[in-house]
């Protein structure tokens, strides 16, 4: 259940970002949103590059975990 909740939070967060967006900007937005620690830890594993769409970021998150 915890994992399902984290996945829902991550999905809502990813969909709410303005694209294109860099890894650093994603992490800053997560800090400002006080995102769940589990989700934040996953975001820290992302490759340091720019993401052009929510789907691209979601794929990178899935690959990083």
pLDDT in tens, 13-60: 999 999 999 999 999 999 999 998 988 999 999 999 999 999 999 999
Could you tell me which of 25, 30, 20 has the C-alpha nearest to residue 55? 20
Residue 1 has pLDDT above 60, yes or no: no
> Looking at the whole model, is its pTM more than 0.85?
yes
Could you tell me which of 21, 28, 60, 64 has the C-alpha nearest to residue 45? 64
Q: Where are the domains of the chain?
A: 2-64
Q: Are 10 and 42 in contact (CB under 8 A)?
A: yes
Query: Measured between alpha carbons, how far is residue 8 from residues 4, 18, 49, 50 in Å?
Result: 6, 18, 24, 23
């Amino acid at each position: 259940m915890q994992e399902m909740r984290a996945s829902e939070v991550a999905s809502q967060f990813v969909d709410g970002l303005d694209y294109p967006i860099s890894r650093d900007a994603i992490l800053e937005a997560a800090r400002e949103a006080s995102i769940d620690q589990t989700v934040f830890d996953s975001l820290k594993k992302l490759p340091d590059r720019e993401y052009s769409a929510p789907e691209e970021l979601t794929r990178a998150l899935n690959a990083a975990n």
